[in-house]
Amino acid sequence: MTTAADESSELEAFRQRRQLELQQQLEEQARQQAAAEVESQAQAQEQQALDMAMKTILTSEARGRLTNISLVDGQKADLLKRQLVSLHEQQKISIPVNDEQLKRILTSLSKSRRDASIRRL
């Protein structure tokens, strides 16, 4: 036979465990949200750095083409931006890159992706 005091202490212990669980869940959510925010800020800074580099590397016509590409395929535009920065750092392109040069670089990027084939075993 359980007494009212036993039931009361069990209930209080259950409440404390539940409160601790909820607190831990909230803390975990806060950690995840903070990590996502930090990652988002890092991506935004990286994107901003790429955009600033494009102002230096590309002519206004080439930047216009890159903007059009980003409207159609954002991933392709990001890949192209990274490729341009890489080519610039390796001093393989002369600055500023005009629209015709950008078209050739874009063609070479597209060609290298098309040449990849899938072999079945």
Q: How far is Cα 8 from Cα 114, in angstroms, rounded to an integer?
A: 71
Give the pLDDT band of residue 2 (cuts 50, 70, 90).
Answer: low
Contact 84, 52 (CB under 8 A): no
Confirm if 96 and 58 have CB atoms less than 8 A apart: yes
The pLDDT of residue 110: 78
Domains of the chain, by residue range, sit at 4-111
Cα 117 vs. chain centroid, distance in angstroms?
A: 27
For residues 99 and 79, give the distance between their C-alpha atoms in angstroms, rounded to a whole number.
17
**CATH number for the domain running over 4-111:** 1.10.8.140
Q: What is the pLDDT of residues 30-71, one digit of tens each?
A: 999 999 999 999 999 999 999 999 999 999 999 999 999 999
Distance of CA 102 to the CA centre of its chain: 24
